């Protein structure tokens, strides 16, 4: 698939994600700090392409309601191999990372357990795999990982992207 077609697919998917989040949410009094927590993750916003030229592209955008919306899109042989719809939003008095692999519902929810500058870790110990999702940004490089129980201890899968 040509670079132009991939770029068009990314643009089209981003428009679909943002269209789904144009209705503003009402902020609950007393939980402004939670919204500020989501805002502190705005360093994720952008189009992130795999460093090695293979793998998934990840895109994050800040919606009008303050929620971060994203998606991951993996192409193989000119076809969509895998995708995931993503969101980071307030939930009660915390911030959660929501993942919908291949659009499955309901979303898997992971609570924010660590936020330090441009490093964030979300966890859900009750989930089978993964139980932790992490992101870290250094300049124009974004690293992400998922980890949880594996057959020989902790299993970890990592990705590295460069900002377009």
Q: Give the confidence band of 105 by pLDDT, cuts at 50, 70, 90.
A: confident
Q: What is the pLDDT of residues 41-68, one digit of tens each?
A: 999 999 999 987 668 999 999 998 889 9
CB 154 within 8 A of CB 147: yes
d(CA 29, CA 20): 24
Q: Determine whether domain 3-21+39-163 maps to CATH 2.40.128.
A: yes
**What pLDDT score was predicted for residue 26?**
34
d(CA 61, CA 66): 10
Q: What is the pLDDT of residues 64-90, one digit of tens each?
A: 888 999 999 998 888 899 999 999 999
d(CA 39, CA 10): 23
CB 60 within 8 A of CB 97: no
Write 2-11 long-range contacts (CB < 8 A, 24+): 5/78, 6/57, 6/75, 9/73, 9/75, 9/80, 10/47, 10/57, 10/59, 10/73
**What pLDDT score was predicted for residue 122?**
97
**What pLDDT score was predicted for residue 7?**
46
Please, what is the average pLDDT of the chain?
A: 83
| pTM attached to this predicted model | 0.80
Whether 119 shows a pLDDT value over 90: the answer reads yes
CB 57 within 8 A of CB 132: no
Helices (H), ranges, the chain: 3-19, 32-39
The answer to whether the bond into 37 is cis (omega within 30° of 0) is no
CB 57 within 8 A of CB 47: yes
Helices (H), ranges, 90-151: none
Average pLDDT over residues 135-151: 96
Q: Give the domain ranges of the chain.
A: 3-21+39-163
């Amino acid at each position: 698939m040509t670079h132009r077609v991939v770029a068009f697919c990314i643009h089209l998917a981003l428009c679909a994600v943002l269209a789904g989040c144009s209705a503003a949410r009402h902020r609950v009094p007393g939980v402004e700090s939670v919204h500020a927590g989501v805002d502190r993750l705005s360093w994720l916003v952008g189009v992130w392409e795999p460093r090695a030229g293979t793998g998934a592209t990840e895109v994050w955008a800040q919606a009008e309601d303050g929620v971060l919306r994203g998606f991951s899109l993996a192409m193989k042989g000119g076809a969509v191999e895998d995708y995931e719809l993503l969101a980071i939003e307030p939930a009660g008095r915390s911030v959660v990372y929501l993942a919908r692999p291949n659009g499955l519902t309901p979303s898997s929810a992971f609570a924010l357990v660590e936020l330090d500058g441009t490093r964030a870790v979300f966890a859900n110990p009750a989930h089978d795999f993964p139980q932790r999702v992490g992101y870290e940004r250094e300049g124009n490089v974004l690293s992400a990982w998922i980890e949880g129980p594996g057959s020989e201890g902790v299993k970890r899968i990592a990705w590295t992207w460069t900002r377009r």
